[in-house]
Amino acid sequence: MDIFEAIEQDHQEIRRLIHRLRGLEEDDRANQDKVFEELKALLLHHHEAEERTFFHALLDDEKVRHEGMHALQEHGEHKKVLEQMEDMRPGSDNWWKRFAELEHDILHHLEEEEEDIFPLARKVFSKQEADDLGTRIGQVKGGLNASS
Ligand SMILES: [Fe+2]
Ligand SMILES: [Fe+2]
C-alpha cells in the first residue's frame, strides 16, 4: 500500500465513524461515547502519523509547502477543539454544536488533502518513495496505537 492509499484508507474510516455517530439514536449515550472516542483516537493518530511521514517529506518542496502548512494548521485546530470538548458535557446541546463544527472542518480537511495536496504530492514522490512512505505510516500508526 502506498502513502496515498494508506491515507485514503484512514480518511474513509474517519468518514465512516462520523457517519456511524450521526446514525445513532439520540438517547444512545453509551454508543455515542464509544464511537466518539474511537473517532477521536483515530483522528489524532492519523494526524500525527501523517505529520511524521507524508508532510515531513513534503514540506521541503516549494510546490507543496503552502498547502502543507495550511493542513498542519488545521490539524492543530482539530486538536484544540477536541480538547475544548473534553470540558463539555458529552451529549449536551453545546457539545453537539461543537461537534457539528468539528465534523464540518474535518470533512473539509480530508477533501482538501485528497483533492488539492495529493495531486501535488504525486509529482513530488517517486513510486518508490510513495511505497516507502506507505510502509512507514503503517509503522508509525502501529506505534501510536500500541502506546495509547
Ligand atoms: Fe491531515
Ligand atoms: Fe489526512
In whole angstroms, what is the distance from residue 105 CA to residue 107 CA? 6
For residue 58, give every residue at least 6 positions away whose Cβ sits within 8 Å of its Cβ, in sequence order, or none: 64, 65, 68, 117, 121, 124
The pTM (predicted TM-score) of the whole model is 0.96
Which pLDDT value is given to residue 43? 98
CA of 132 to the centre of ligand 1 (A): 19
- Which residues lie at CB < 5 A from ion ligand 2? 50, 113
CB 29 within 8 A of CB 90: yes
- Residue 37 grid coordinates: 472516542
CA of 143 to the centre of ligand 1 (A): 18
Looking at the CA of 11, which ligand is closest? 2
CA of 55 to the centre of ligand 2 (A): 10
CA of 91 to the centre of ligand 2 (A): 26
CATH architecture for segment(s) 3-147: Up-down Bundle (1.20)
- Residue 137 grid coordinates: 505510516
CA of 92 to the centre of ligand 2 (A): 28
- Tens of pLDDT along the chain (148 residues) come to 999 999 999 999 999 999 999 999 999 999 999 999 999 999 999 999 999 999 999 998 998 999 999 999 999 999 999 999 999 999 999 999 999 999 999 999 999 999 999 999 999 999 999 999 999 999 999 999 998 7
- Which residues lie at CB < 5 A from ion ligand 1? 50
CA of 24 to the centre of ligand 2 (A): 25
Which pLDDT value is given to residue 148? 77
CA of 109 to the centre of ligand 1 (A): 6
